[in-house]
Structure 1
């Protein structure tokens, strides 16, 4: 039985000859607790990318208006393709003409504890 590559969409959108983004081909070291990262991404327009480690990938969302300190202030979060765990440390410039072309910086990162393990 062949399982689908969870990073297929991620790899299909990128030319790793042109971008320094991690390819995800190397296995990420196992983390004691799942990780999260928030990145500021200045592409077509500035937005935040929110990523949660779930298993062997970072589940990812684009947050156009960024995070809020007010719990009553709901923000749109648009799901994007899964990213490799190595993306947690990625900062740099994605070349213009490449998917997501623009500057990426790490704004916050750490670990999280799921409320349930279902």
Structure 2
């Protein structure tokens, strides 16, 4: 099933030239992972990725995630990525996504999506257009919600919001003040 979900990813890339993972190897982790990658391509943005059914369901967030529950961040759903993309850092060569990528944050997460008090599996939550997860990262902690919206008539548009909990910070601006990789300490400029 994850192979079919990666056909769009593979169709957009020449992985031998771009240096991006092929998706042939699977990661082994007992808990689902998330990763937020800082991608300096044609425009700087953050890619939020959640492990779902053997792939990374992905959203491009132009302004990056916010710790302030008042902020609503556009999150554009993009193609699923392979699990081995979670630790990818480097320079993507000419073509689709050209630019530099670092792992801005990573960790595990818990799916806490419910409907009428009943838990909803992530694939069903994505299909329904609303999910809520609790992130256990180095820069991002606590609950975040992703909700599908009809903005601009584009079916890929979602909104990412920080839930008002212990991880919320109305003054914190980690996407502008903490630009280094949690894996290597490098910045996009270092690449």
TM-score (norm 1): 0.91
Q: Equivalents in 2 of 1:52, 1:29: separation in Å?
A: 13
Q: Match of 2:39?
A: 41
* Other structure's SS at 1:17 match: helix
Of the three residues 104, 109, 114, the one matched with 1:107 is: 104
CA deviation profile, 1:49-98 (whole Å, cap 9, x unmatched): 000000110000000011112111100000000000000000000012x2
Report the count of equivalent residues.
115
Q: Match of 1:58?
A: 56
Q: Equivalents in 2 of 1:29, 1:56: separation in Å?
A: 9
Quick one: structure 1 residues 102 and 3, their matched pair in 2 at CA, closer, same or farther if it must change by over 3 Å?
Answer: closer
Unaligned runs of 5+ in 1: none
* Other structure's SS at 1:67 match: coil
Quick one: structure 1 residues 32 and 101, their matched pair in 2 at CA, closer, same or farther if it must change by over 3 Å?
Answer: same
Q: Match of 1:88?
A: 86
Preserved CA contact (<8 Å) 2:39 2:101: yes
Q: Over aligned residue pairs, what C-alpha RMSD do you find?
A: 1.7
**Looking at CA atoms only, which structure, 1 or 2, has the larger radius of gyration?**
2
Unaligned runs of 5+ in 2: 113-118, 122-191
* Other structure's SS at 1:18 match: helix
Runs of 4+ more than 2 Å apart: none
